[in-house]
Structure 1
Amino acid sequence: MVNSMTGYAARDVASDGTLRSWDLRSVNGRGLEMRLRLPDRLGRLEIPLRERLKKALARGSVTLTLRIARDDAGKAVTLDDAALAAALGALDFVRRASEAQGLPVAPPDPVRILTMPGVMTTAAEEAGPADEVLLAEFDALLDAFLASRAAEGRALHRTLSDQIDSLDRLTAQAATRAAARTDSAADRLAANLARVLGASAAVDPDRLAQELAVLAVKSDVTEEIDRLAGAHIPAARDLLSGQGPVGRRFDFLMQEFNREANTLCSKSGDAALTQTGLDLKVVIDQMREQVQNVE
């Protein structure tokens, strides 16, 4: 069963005076691209979170967001001396570098300094939930996210299965119309040959027959129909019923489908067969759009 690259899950967890809002979503992508938006003080969790995502996903553009809201009313506020010293040192470096270039620098605003990340903390911030708790919350979020992608995958499976059935039906129709075209073409060629031979005795029947045979070979679509019916359509069904990521292989297979349909149309020489080839191309284009979402 195929999985979709499109998925979404969100959950809120309230405990210890904080509300943690998790959001995980993805859209289609060529490979696996991950964007993590975490509070600064939880940057240490980025590596284990990425490892979990890599283990669970193969493709898609994935965005994980964690927002933490706190009720800090009545809680003690602590000044982090080391963070303050680092902030002041950075500001002093900027001041000296600017003055060396002859650029005036306004004195720093103490309020802005205190609001710099890490300078002022509350008791809730200093304690916070343990990493194991946060990772367990993420694991539950990831399960819901994977279920969302699987549900999208089931819908994709139904759509792609119907489209493969349409390709199968149109390929059979192309075979029938190609055979009918061959019969009618033979009748037309025989009539033209009789007319030419009757009009001029200089025509070499053997040479004319050879030229007509060459034209027949150039317009033969048997190989294209055989590859569609005997190789590409069964391969598409196998991919659809297989396990694991198949999106890249599906995308390559759609290129092969498109190549066969283009060749069939260019070699057709018959209105009915050309229409079938165009119908094939329409279904192939619709199918390619769906395949872009397959993991």
Structure 2
Amino acid sequence: MTGYANASGEAAGKRVNLEIRSVNHRYLDLQFRMPEDLRHLEGTLREQIAAAAQRGKIECRIQLQDVQNGAALTVNQELVGKLAALSKDIRKAHGGLGKLTVADILNFPGVLAANSTDAEALGTAVAGLLTAALKEFSASRLREGKKLAQHLIQRLDLMEEIIAALEELFPALIAAYTDKLKTRLQEAVGNIDNDRLQQELALFLQKSDVDEEFSRLRTHIAEVRRIVTEGKGGAGKRLDFLMQELNREANTLGSKAIAAECTQASVELKVLIEQMREQVQNIE
């Protein structure tokens, strides 16, 4: 499911901005965008996110900004002394050379250095911000999950209506098809034996019996409804399986079609199942 959250704070002289966002994905795919100074935290952060989400293409983006000014710079006094002594010796040996200016010394590599960042404090701060962001992230996904549950239940209701309507109509369809079959057999064979006719009709009724398909469809629908209503974790894979079973029964129902109404019902059921299947793949 999709989700978004952010958190920010300050630690070890740094302003930390953290964002976490996700889009629908069948599996868990984690990506991190962060400075190399924080790359050593990736394993810990990955565990934090994986504990809160089982599905989704999730991106965690972390940015650092200095909150200290130039006063945070330190001067390597030892190196400055060596440079001054070296300058004096060189000028003594080569009288035509000018003196080193302050700017020359400050621009020399290693003379100016920023105060070292407290890596442990920064890591603790990042982990805390991620915890806070994940809390809001999970809440946003939960809100979307409730809407998704409504979407699925609406389609389950429509499926039950289609099955009930077809089940009510089926005896009339059987009777009409039986009359048509009798007429065709009599035209083709002539004075067909009544026992033979009964055998042919019994075989036809056996092949066109859809009570089992109706029963299985209702059973699977009830199970999907139960899982969605309970809203427990780890439901995604179970719902994936049930979508396959629903589609199998809808296909079987279509293969036993004895009238256009049966074929139409099978198609409508498969459309609804496909709509649910696309959404179910995003459920954890």
TM-score (norm 2): 0.78
Question: For the structure 1 residues 16 and 222, does the alpha-carbon distance in structure 2 shift closer, same or farther, using more than 3 Å as the test?
Answer: same
Which residue of 208, 211, 220 corresponds with 1:232? 220
Which residue of 37, 44, 58 corresponds with 2:33? 37
CA–CA distance in 2 between the matches of 1:196 and 1:66? 79
Which residue of 117, 127, 130 corresponds with 1:135? 127
Q: Which amino acid aligns with 2:178?
A: A
C-alpha deviation, 1:253, in angstroms: 0.7
Q: How does 1:49-60 map to 2 (within 5 A)?
A: 49-60=45-56
Q: Which amino acid aligns with 2:241?
A: F
Is residue 3 of structure 2 the alignment partner of residue 11 of structure 1? no
Q: Which residue of 2 aligns with 1:46?
A: 42
CA–CA distance in 2 between the matches of 1:186 and 1:43? 74
Question: For the structure 1 residues 8 and 49, does the alpha-carbon distance in structure 2 shift closer, same or farther, using more than 3 Å as the test?
Answer: same
Is residue 151 of structure 2 the alignment partner of residue 162 of structure 1? no
Q: How does 1:100-111 map to 2 (within 5 A)?
A: none
Question: For the structure 1 residues 131 and 73, does the alpha-carbon distance in structure 2 shift closer, same or farther, using more than 3 Å as the test?
Answer: same
Q: Which secondary structure state, in structure 1, belongs to the residue aligned with residue 214 of structure 2?
A: helix
CA–CA distance in 1 between the matches of 2:166 and 2:273? 15
Q: Which residue of 1 aligns with 2:199?
A: 210
Bigger radius of gyration: 2
CA–CA distance in 2 between the matches of 1:154 and 1:222? 33
CA–CA distance in 1 between the matches of 2:74 and 2:141? 43
CA–CA distance in 2 between the matches of 1:291 and 1:54? 19
User: Is the CA contact 2:6–2:19 (under 8 Å) kept in the aligned structure 1?
Assistant: yes
Task: Provide the aligned C-alpha RMSD in A.
Answer: 2.5
CA–CA distance in 2 between the matches of 1:77 and 1:162? 66
CA–CA distance in 2 between the matches of 1:18 and 1:130? 8
C-alpha deviation, 1:168, in angstroms: 1.1
C-alpha deviation, 1:169, in angstroms: 0.9
CA–CA distance in 1 between the matches of 2:252 and 2:28? 34
Question: For the structure 1 residues 10 and 279, does the alpha-carbon distance in structure 2 shift closer, same or farther, using more than 3 Å as the test?
Answer: same
Q: Which residue of 2 aligns with 1:27?
A: 23
Which string of whole-angstrom CA distances, capped at 9 and with x for unpartnered residues, describes residues 96-124 of structure 1?
xxxxxxxxxxxxxxxxxx8xxxxx96226
Q: Which amino acid aligns with 2:224?
A: A
C-alpha deviation, 1:274, in angstroms: 1.8
Q: How does 1:280-291 map to 2 (within 5 A)?
A: 280-291=269-280
Q: Structure 1: 5+ residue runs without aligned partners?
A: 80-113, 115-119
Which residue of 73, 76, 79 corresponds with 2:73? 76
Is residue 246 of structure 2 the alignment partner of residue 257 of structure 1? yes
CA–CA distance in 1 between the matches of 2:273 and 2:149? 15
User: Is the CA contact 1:78–1:123 (under 8 Å) kept in the aligned structure 2?
Assistant: no
In the comparison of the two structures, how many residue pairs are matched? 248
Q: Which residue of 1 aligns with 2:229?
A: 241
CA–CA distance in 2 between the matches of 1:33 and 1:190? 61
Q: Structure 2: 5+ residue runs without aligned partners?
A: 77-108
